[in-house]
Structure 1
Amino acid sequence: MDGEAYATLQKSARDHLWMHFTRMSSYDQADVPIIVRGEGPYVYDAKGNRYLDALAGLFVNQLGHGRTDLVEAAAKQASELAFFPLWSYAHPTAIELAERLAGYAPGDLNRVFFTTGGGEAVETAWKLAKNYFKLTGKPMKHKVISRAIAYHGTTQGALSITGLPGLKAVFEPLVPSTFRVPNTNFYRAPQHGDDLEAFGRWAADEIAVAIENEGPETVAAVFLEPVQNAGGCFPPPPGYFQRVREICDQYDVLLVSDEVICAFGRLGHMFAAERYDFQPDMITFAKGVTSGYSPLGGMMATDRLMEPFLHGTNTFLHGYTFGGHPVSTAVALANLDAFENEGINKHVRANEGAFRATLEKLNDLPIVGDVRGDGFFYGIELVKDKATKETFDDAEAEKLLRGFLSKALYASGLYCRADDRGDPVVQVAPPLICDQEHFDEIEQLLRAVLTEAWSLL
């Protein structure tokens, strides 16, 4: 891109584009990063610089960039039927995708309600939970339990379920009747020593305590990510989800597995509930279902939850204009074809140990306190003191993450996330096509930048 075209884009971006979750003042004196193309696990900016996409866009781009098969699927569908809603009508790709997803999902999660993204999927799941209990004689059941620091979306309902006070304060009052329980951050659970399973049992039992405190007759659902994203990739301890399932059954509370990030290969399976061997009542999904080539999300429900809506005038009065868009569902089918034909899940399972081992090399750095995650989904927690696990205060985190790390990582050629929702972490979740060459590149770039960060501190 020549200098004049670049300058024009920069001015237009400053004058007209409102970027998401972005301090717009950051670009008063700095250029807006403009990404213009991608190829495999790499993206390129308008100046021709290359970056390893170590966050898969935003936990989205499972198959990498530049996939002509997905592009051709979109073009073919658009030429045949560019749009039609699912409001009392259907189209072939939505039908085919619903059947295919039901085949992948555990148990009798046989009904698929399409949205355009993850927040809408979470919103749909909460609305269904409340609607279902009203139709089945338990109209007081409406409350939701979720975990501390968990992120579930930005719509008013999904934001209410989110456990990040800083994201919510400026939008309050939100939807009432949501309650928080502990997450599974074992690194910050000193009272349990080295007993991971005991910690998991305690964390699960806290859900029962919350249900009892609110009254079981008022609690509709528990929303949990299989691996919690915000806070830096908290995997479930052994037995955790099995105990949560028992609790939900005991109190007739619906278990929602929020797999917006965790589904479609991120953890080496189509759905993370399969990896951790538990049966949800609903699964929410988005992101990787199309590898980001077209927007799509959805909520999957068991036959039990659909049953009341199969009779008389009962109707789920909910929907989205672009939910289950024909082009998006066609892309999703092509994406899933590639998953199967190229053995993507098998590749993740075969390489996750090497990815973990490569990232764990960073444990020799004084600033690295913990490396955690599963599959191709890892968080690296940064600390001020390894021995005591002392974290950074707000001013130090601001200086470290926004003052240095985010810019330095990008300048080094690595696109990932430096985040302080919870304790400061760097998150990496590259496209699922990556291998040892890319793991090494991620580790080497992280090592150089984190070493410099420590010297500055």
Structure 2
Amino acid sequence: MPSTDHRRTWPEDLSSYCFEVPFGEETVLFDSARGIHLTDTAGRSYIDSLSGVFVSCFGYSCEPIVDAVTQQLRKLPFNPPLHGTNPAALALTDALARLAPEGLNTVKLVNGGSEAVEASLRLARLTQRELGNPGRYKLLSYYHGYHGATFGSLSLTGRPDVTRFGPSLPGVVHVWSPDMFASVHGTDAEESGRLAAEAIERTIQAEGPDSVAALVMEPVIHLRGMAIAPPGYLARVREICDRYGVLLVFDEIVTGFGRTGQPFAAQTFGATPDLMAVGKGISGGYAPLAAVLFNDKVAGVLTDASGTSSFAPSHTYAANPLAAAAGLASVTLYSEGGYLDSNATLATSFTSNLTEALGDRGDLRSVGLLYGAKLRPLPDDPEGSAGAAVASACQERGLILRGQDDWITLAPAFTTTEEETAEICGKFTDALDKVYGGRM
């Protein structure tokens, strides 16, 4: 096994840099990348089975996106956002509207997923007010979902660890997702979906329908180990929202752009929201970019006499020409590159290999090229930290995935080869063998 001693490449003084997560023995100083392989400053190689963090759908050396950004950089790196926009941004919004579920015709470009969710919240409350419902300000979301790091989006997250920032955004009400009913009550997927939908309806009734602006949800919940919406559940939720005049918002930051087998999870699960936040894979990881897509009901409150929509406040880099060029190249590549078919083939191979690797050590959850596994508890592990242990063992072997609590997640790049699939699953098997001491 390659040496894990890469700390010698770090500067002696790190006091000026605030890390994303606490610095430790496993923190890596990445230096370069090619395909789905990264190299750190100590020369050690890693194979990425997480697409960075559900972002790098086409790997780290996608020439069409690199060329598009390079050309845009030479032509127009920035435009005055208070005075106009740029052709790449216009072309990207048109491409997104054509790719999106029918009815989501208007697109607001923003910088990242948190900002897309935050904009969705403002749009939902604004729409209700402009439609004559100023009392509708409450926002429903899942316990233990994840929606971002800005204050509003973090308030939706519903995890105890966010309370360290103080009281959350007023008006946020949390509900339980279907997988909670399955794990606590042992119900099957269909019954869990029925119970969760019924709980949402009862929550709307209890809060007062005239006070609820929107329900915000992830079709597949990443921080619950890729908890997948049961069949028919999202369609039932859509019907409930319509009945009570509640706007439905899908957070498709993780699930968008082919991850679930269709362009968006809304199409995979057969339910179209009023607003949809998208990001991550939208630019293939080559620039910070996200968007909010919404229907005519929402767009109608933003449209002026010229027939165009506008929505502020916005941000300096929203619809930035470099990010838009990356996004247009990425969306075009996905739309025209045959990835729906090739992703299905890759998913079949990956699912088979991961199922064999897991054995009795966990239960695989998968839809398209999104994978989660709920892991069996480790002996003498009351905290349920098998996910972190497996992720650490994988990184020791040069494999990047995510692990936390009792779950792990993978999201391979669309360009992953059969050989790379075998390499990923081989390293995963070795890591599981180390953590669990062989197959159970």
TM-score, normalising length: structure 1: 0.89
Does structure 2 retain, via aligned residues, the 8 Å contact 1:53–1:430?
yes
Q: 1:84 is aligned with what amino acid?
A: N
**Structure 1 unpaired stretches of 5+:** none
2:260 pairs, out of 254, 262, 267, with: 267
Partner of 2:98: 103
SS in 2 for 1:293: coil
Residue 124 (structure 1) aligned with residue 119 (structure 2): yes
Deviation at 1:329, TM superposition (A): 0.5
User: Is 1:438 matched up with 2:395?
Assistant: no
For residues 2-31 of structure 1, what are the alpha-carbon distances to aligned partners after superposition, in whole Å with 9 as ceiling and x for unaligned?
xxx98574335x2322111x123x2xxx47
> Shift of residue 438 of structure 1?
2.7
Alignment partner, residue 372 of structure 1: 365
- Alpha-carbon distance in structure 2 between the residues aligned to 1:152 and 1:112: 19
1:185 lines up with 2:174 in the alignment: no
Rounded to whole Å, the distance in 2 between the matches of 1:291 and 1:187 is 35
Do the aligned partners of 2:339 and 2:414 also contact (CA within 8 Å) in 1?
yes
Q: Distance in 2 between matches of 1:391 and 1:188?
A: 25
Matches within 5 A, 1:236-315: 236-311=229-304
Match of 1:196 among 180, 189, 197: 189
Amino acid corresponding to residue 86 of structure 2 in structure 1: H
Contact 2:9–2:41, Cα closer than 8 Å, also in 1: no
1:79 aligns with 2:74: yes
1:391 Cα offset (Å): 10
Amino acid of the residue matched to residue 455 of structure 1? Answer: G
Contact 1:62 1:265 in 2 (8 A): no
Q: Which residue of 1 aligns with 2:429?
A: 447
How far residue 455 of structure 1 moved from its aligned partner, in angstroms, is 3.2
Does structure 2 conserve the Cα–Cα contact (< 8 Å) formed by 1:149 and 1:162?
yes
Aligned amino acid, residue 435 of structure 2: A
> 1:85–1:323: 8 Å Cα contact kept in structure 2?
no
Q: Which residue of 2 is the match for residue 160 of structure 1?
A: 155
Match of 1:426 in 2: 408
**Which segments of structure 1 move beyond 6 Å, counting only runs of 4 or more?**
312-315
Pairing 1:407–2:392 present = yes
Q: Which amino acid aligns with 2:288?
A: P
Are the counterparts in 2 of residues 225 and 258 from structure 1 also a CA contact under 8 Å? yes
- Classify the secondary structure of the residue corresponding to 1:448: helix
Cα displacement (A) at 1:312: 6.7
- The structure-2 alpha-carbon separation of the partners of 1:442 and 1:8, relative to structure 1 and needing over 3 Å to count, comes to closer
Q: Check the 8 A contact 1:43/1:51 in 2, yes or no.
A: yes
> What's the counterpart of residue 3 of structure 2?
none
Q: What secondary structure, in the 3-state scheme, does the structure 2 residue paired with 1:256 have? A: strand
* Separation of aligned partners in 1, 2:382 and 2:284: 37
CA distance in 2 between partners of 1:215 and 1:352 (Å): 43
Whether contact under 8 Å (1:227, 1:373) holds in the other structure is no
Q: TM-score, normalised by structure 2?
A: 0.92
Corresponding letter in the other structure for 1:10 = P
Structure-2 change in CA distance of 1:108 and 1:343 (3 Å): same
Q: Deviations over 1:362-392 (max 9, x none)?
A: 3424xx231102111111111227xxxx994
Q: 1:375 to 1:315 in 2, by over 3 A?
A: closer
Query: Structure 1: which amino acid aligns with 2:167?
Result: P
Q: 2:89 aligns with which of 85, 94, 99?
A: 94
Secondary structure of 1:361's aligned partner: helix
1:171 aligns with 2:171: no
Cα gap change, 1:363/1:66 in structure 2, threshold over 3 Å: closer, same or farther? closer
Structure 2 residue 382 is the aligned partner of structure 1 residue 393: yes
Cα separation, 1, equivalents of 2:433 and 2:37: 24
1:8-23 correspondence runs (5 A): 9-11=10-12, 14-20=14-20, 22-23=21-22
Match of 1:343 among 322, 338, 343: 338
Check conservation: 2:104, 2:274, Cα contact below 8 A: yes
Closer/same/farther in 2, CA of residues 188 and 447 from structure 1, 3 Å limit = farther
Q: For residues 420 and 26 of structure 2, what CA distance do their matches in structure 1 show?
A: 28
- TM-fit CA distance, 1:268: 2.3
| Maintained 8 Å contact 2:393/2:434 | no
| 1:88-131 alpha-carbon deviations (Å, 9 max, x no partner) | 52210111111111111112211111110000000000001111
Cα RMSD for the two superposed structures? 2.4
What residue identity is the alignment partner of 2:38? V
Between 376-385 and 53-62, the greater mean CA deviation after superposition: 376-385
% identical aligned pairs: 31
Choose the corresponding residue for 1:147, options 138, 142, 151.
142
Q: Which amino acid aligns with 2:218?
A: E
- Give 2:329's aligned residue: 334
1:323 aligns to what? 318
Q: Give 1:254 deviation, angstroms.
A: 0.7
Answer whether contact 1:87 1:319 (CA < 8 A) is retained.
Answer: no
Aligned partner (choices 27, 31, 39) of residue 34 of structure 2: 39
Distance in 1 (CA, whole Å) between partners of 2:155 and 2:40 is 36
Deviation of 1:145 after TM superposition, in Å, equals 0.8
The number of equivalent residue pairs is 432
- Structure 2: distance between partners of 1:85 and 1:417: 39
Tell me the CA shift for residue 80 of structure 1: 1.2
* Shift of residue 139, structure 1, vs aligned partner: 0.2
